[in-house]
């Protein structure tokens, strides 16, 4: 729980152009209490995050963020691998990754770890 401010700072720094929902401490705390937030640390510093959530039907991954100076070192790949293990243990047989369409580095990473773009599904959202 002590890392919540660092998580928020990382998300602000690495904010996707597609992220429109505001982040807050209560939201990050809920992720922690539901065991859905993975973090990567280097030398005692938070350097990456991934939300790996199970909805009872399938796994969902989003909010993959790594500090720029720690990119291309395997941090994101390791977070995804750990997310896979966690979601599989919960019963997931399929995992969806939410990725902004215009973020080439992000789409490249997800392709590199075995994900394919789903051309059959359109995502609909509504803010409450």
Torsion of CA 112, 71, 32, 115, to 10 degrees: -10
pLDDT lower than 70: segments of the chain: 1, 15-20
pLDDT for the residue numbered 15: 65
Does 122 map to a domain?
no
Q: Which helix (H) or strand (E) holds 50?
A: strand 45-54
pLDDT for the residue numbered 42: 93
Does 118 map to a domain?
no
Q: CATH number, domain at 43?
A: 3.40.630.30
**What is the domain count for the chain?**
1
Query: Residue 91: which domain range?
Result: 4-112
Does 125 map to a domain?
no
Rounded to whole angstroms, the maximal C-alpha distance in the chain is 42
pLDDT for the residue numbered 127: 79
pLDDT for the residue numbered 98: 87
pLDDT for the residue numbered 105: 85
Does 57 map to a domain?
yes
Strand 45-54 to 37-42 pairing: antiparallel
Does 78 map to a domain?
yes
Does 121 map to a domain?
no
């Amino acid at each position: 729980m002590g890392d919540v401010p660092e998580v928020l700072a990382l998300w602000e720094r690495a904010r996707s152009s597609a992220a429109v929902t505001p982040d807050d401490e209560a939201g990050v705390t809920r992720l922690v209490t539901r065991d859905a937030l993975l973090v990567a640390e280097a030398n005692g510093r938070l350097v990456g995050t991934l939300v790996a959530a199970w909805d009872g039907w399938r796994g969902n991954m989003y909010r993959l963020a790594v500090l720029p100076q720690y990119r291309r070192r395997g941090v994101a790949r390791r977070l995804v691998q750990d997310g896979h293990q966690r979601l599989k243990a919960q019963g997931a047989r399929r995992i969806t990754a939410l990725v902004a369409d215009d973020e080439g580095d992000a789409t490249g990473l997800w392709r590199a770890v075995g994900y394919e773009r789903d051309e059959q599904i359109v995502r609909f959202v509504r803010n409450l």
